[in-house]
Amino acid sequence: MLSCGRGIADITGEPADTGMLGYGKSWQRSDGIHLRLRSRAFVIAEPAGGRRVLVVVNDLPMVFDSVRRALLDRLRHRYGVLYTEHNTMITATHTHCGPGGYSHHRLYHSNTGGFRPKTFAAIVDGMTEAVVRAHDDLSPAVLTLSHGELHDASANRSKVAFDNNPEADRRCFPDGVDPQTTLLRIERDGTPVGAINWFGVHNTSMTNTNTLISGDNKGYAAYHWERVVAGADYLDRRPNDLVAAFAQTNAGDLTPNLDLRPGRGPTADEVENTRVIGLRQHQAAARLMTAPGRTIADGIDHRMTHVNLGAVVIRPEFTGDGREHRTGGPVGGASALAGSTEDGPAFRGFHEGRNPFWDGVSRWIYRRMPALRDAQAPKALVAGGLRGHYVARRAPVQLLRIGHLYLIGVPAEVTIVAGLRLRRTVASIVGAQLADVLVVGYTNGYLHYITTPEEYDTQQYEGGSTLFGRWTLPALQQVASELATAIRDGTPIRYGDAEPDLSGRLRHARPRIPHDVAPAGLDFGDVVLEPRARYRPGDVVTAVFVAAYPNNDLHRNGTYLEVQQRVTDGWSTVADDGDWSTTFRWRRTRSGQIAVVTWTVPQDAAGEYRIRCYGKARRQVLWPYSGSSRVFTIGNEGGHHANPAAPP
């Protein structure tokens, strides 16, 4: 029997004044929290000191070499060689609603002003805590792998590129989506205590106009299962609380916006869409929780190598045309600057597909540089010569074996057909069923997109964002074959050329830390706007407090707010800022600083309630404060439906 340990911790960064990562828009700067971000860690080990692997799933836009390196360093100091880059898979859900500024590469600081040490520390501290908890939780468990299908939670946002693939590949995905949803169920004494779900869909139900921190649809799926269904309390966890992670697979060309417009589908409300798409992922995973499945037997193994994606020589058996080819250095295409029109357009003047001016300039360059042409054509070259401190070049590529489950860790956004080819490559070598081989994108680093050569030729957004050129996927197939062969044969694999440590070359952000100012005659924690006296289920309760700069104290593993219900012996907290039903939004006003707190009343709520607010004000020292609203009543009689909203 295998052993498994689970852990979860808060990795929420700065909730105010920090550029949010994913869409790259200057105006998308955090100003509060809707759903806190979590790190979920799982240790899976053979008995009697055998091999083990560590999988860490994070509610983050991306995993960068910066946080990976820092986490592994922490683990090395604590556990020696027990958890290393070889057996540790660190992956992101790819929410676009998390604060940025935690990469060591400068491209990702376009709207953060530079590196943000406070957000970086929150992420690394939280990931470390999750792993420590998982390590301490290690005990015998039964692991079961199940597969199902989910058809109403994704759409192909790059159908032009998908349709350029060979018919044999397209037949595998009749609807243009990868519907496979996979669940690793973890049980102790017949009781489910953990789950990892893999399903490919972009975590972009929230649009680039949102400024509240959120785990988006995958964050909601995990929250709903853990908090709503299983009753876990994030602020006061019990040892047997369920830990449920919703990880990515090959989501590169899959959008949750089913109407193929930002924030549209299945409804016209992006917040409701986030809930619905997340709920559908949870429901599909919950069905697999009771499916027969196949028990994971002993057999833990792992291989990892580094490859400079800008300088790979690809053998003819992987290129598809019987000739040797080479990848090229990172170059962004004009279509990359166009963005994805289905999830969020980027820069005006650029288009997916043809860009006549840039196409003409690029043809002139290609005639003079045949090696560049072979690697990058027909990309319209725009952002060329990306130096090492702007984007990474070296990809950590990983293969984990957990019984009959194989996880290919790729530091990029992989389209469904590109993922299919990688999965076929590994499955054919190790002798696994195709369904049991998964591409885990957004893992151990970030190198943008991976398309098939045929998709690349159409130069849609994903092709323009495949930085290393037309032959990037064949290069990764070649690497994946080497990893799979090494696991099959029990042989070592070359370490390769790892990304250099850039921590000494950082440009730190210089945030403007405000002097905390309360409105005249008021102090921090005082109420500016009280709730009404009565509400009904479904109403939105609003209270406004005088509030200091929230970045003074991130309240990690804590909360800026509580909704409390009167009980016999005092007050009981029923919601906090980690709950879907609440929002915390901080604002500067002419007279001072405030926090607007909302709570959507659940359908089963009844009785007397109040809202509390917490923070730390910067004076000579950080001074803690709290405040409380007046008591209000929830009931089915009286009141009226002001600002109605769907219950959580």
| 300-332 confidence digits (pLDDT tens) | 999 999 999 999 999 999 999 999 999 999 999
DSSP per-residue letters across 104-116: SSGGGGTTTSSB-
Residues 292 and 242 in one domain: yes
Assigned domain for 134 exists = yes
Contact (CB, 8 A) for 181 and 150 = yes
Distances (CA, A) of 186 to 108, 146, 231: 36, 11, 18
Assigned domain for 339 exists = no
Long-range contacts from 186-191, C-beta under 8 angstroms, 24+ separation = 186/4, 186/6, 186/42, 186/141, 186/142, 186/143, 187/141, 187/142, 187/143, 187/144, 188/139, 188/140, 188/141, 188/142, 188/240, 191/240
pLDDT (mean) for 547-569: 97
Assigned domain for 346 exists = no
Q: What angle do CA 520, 14, 623 make, to 5 degrees?
A: 45
Residues 23 and 163 in one domain: yes
pLDDT (mean) for 105-126: 95
Measured distance CA(450)–CA(462) in Å, rounded: 7
How many contiguous H segments (helices) and E segments (strands) does the chain have?
14, 37
Assigned domain for 245 exists = yes
H/E element, 35: none
Instruction: Quote the number of domains for the chain.
Output: 2
CATH code of residue 597: 2.60.40.2300
User: How many Cα atoms occupy the beta-carbon half-sphere of 240 within 13 Å?
Assistant: 7
DSSP per-residue letters across 183-212: EEEEEETTEEEEEEEE----S-SS-TT--S
> Is a pLDDT exceeding 50 seen at residue 85?
yes
Sign of CA dihedral 331, 333, 338, 341: negative
Assigned domain for 506 exists = no
Residues 539 and 609 in one domain: yes
Query: Of 489, 509, 543, which residue is a domain's last?
Result: 489
Measured distance CA(79)–CA(64) in Å, rounded: 22
488 — pLDDT class (breaks 50, 70, 90):
very high
Give a three-class secondary structure readout of 346-385: CCCCCCCCCCHHHHHHHHHHHHHCHHHHHHHCCCCEEECC
> Is a pLDDT exceeding 60 seen at residue 643?
no
Instruction: Choose among 324, 346, 351: nearest CA to 335.
Output: 351
Residues 30 and 135 in one domain: yes
Assigned domain for 32 exists = yes
| Residue indicated by tokens 């836009």 | 61
Residue 239: what pLDDT?
A: 82
Tell me which of 67-76, 211-220, 382-391, 455-464 is least confident: 382-391
Kindly report whether the peptide bond that precedes residue 624 is cis, defined as omega within 30 degrees of 0: no
Residue 570: what pLDDT?
A: 96
Residue 607: what pLDDT?
A: 97
Residue 576: what pLDDT?
A: 98
Residues 555 and 423 in one domain: no
> Is a pLDDT exceeding 60 seen at residue 160?
yes
Distances (CA, A) of 611 to 37, 434, 528, 555, 557: 22, 51, 13, 17, 19
Could you count the other beta carbons within 10 Å of the beta carbon of residue 636? Answer: 9
Backbone angles phi, psi at 164, to 5 degrees: -85, -5
**Which range marks the domain in which residue 596 is found?**
527-634
Kindly report whether the peptide bond that precedes residue 140 is cis, defined as omega within 30 degrees of 0: no
Residues 199 and 296 in one domain: yes
298 — pLDDT class (breaks 50, 70, 90):
confident
- Written as six digits, the tokens of 409 are 């860790």
Sign of CA dihedral 108, 110, 111, 114: positive
Residue 386: what pLDDT?
A: 72
User: How many Cα atoms occupy the beta-carbon half-sphere of 419 within 13 Å?
Assistant: 36
Query: Of 467, 489, 511, which residue is a domain's last?
Result: 489
Assigned domain for 559 exists = yes
Contact (CB, 8 A) for 459 and 376 = no
pLDDT (mean) for 520-544: 97
Residues 443 and 539 in one domain: no
Instruction: Choose among 391, 382, 357: nearest CA to 110.
Output: 391
> Is a pLDDT exceeding 50 seen at residue 620?
yes
| 588-604 confidence digits (pLDDT tens) | 998 999 999 999 999 99
Tell me which of 92-101, 109-118, 384-393 is least confident: 384-393
49 — pLDDT class (breaks 50, 70, 90):
confident
Assigned domain for 383 exists = no
Residue 637: what pLDDT?
A: 63
Instruction: Choose among 648, 644, 631: nearest CA to 534.
Output: 631
Average pLDDT, the chain: 95
3-class state of residue 445 by DSSP: coil
Contact (CB, 8 A) for 313 and 375 = no
Residues 8 and 127 in one domain: yes
| 223-261 confidence digits (pLDDT tens) | 999 999 999 999 998 888 999 999 999 999 999 999 999
Residues 471 and 551 in one domain: no
DSSP per-residue letters across 37-52: -EEEEEEEE-TTT--E
Residue 385: what pLDDT?
A: 65
Measured distance CA(481)–CA(483) in Å, rounded: 5
Residues 565 and 456 in one domain: no
pLDDT (mean) for 602-607: 96
Could you count the other beta carbons within 10 Å of the beta carbon of residue 641? Answer: 12
Instruction: Choose among 460, 319, 308: nearest CA to 396.
Output: 308
Contact (CB, 8 A) for 469 and 329 = no
347 — pLDDT class (breaks 50, 70, 90):
confident
Distances (CA, A) of 413 to 62, 91, 197, 259, 381: 10, 12, 18, 21, 20
Residues 159 and 237 in one domain: yes
Residues 94 and 215 in one domain: yes
383 — pLDDT class (breaks 50, 70, 90):
confident
Residue 645: what pLDDT?
A: 40
> Is a pLDDT exceeding 70 seen at residue 565?
yes
Q: What angle do CA 149, 150, 153 make, to 5 degrees?
A: 160
Residue 314 pairs with which residues in a beta bridge? 325
Percentage of the chain lying above the pLDDT 90 cut: 90
Query: Of 489, 514, 546, which residue is a domain's last?
Result: 489
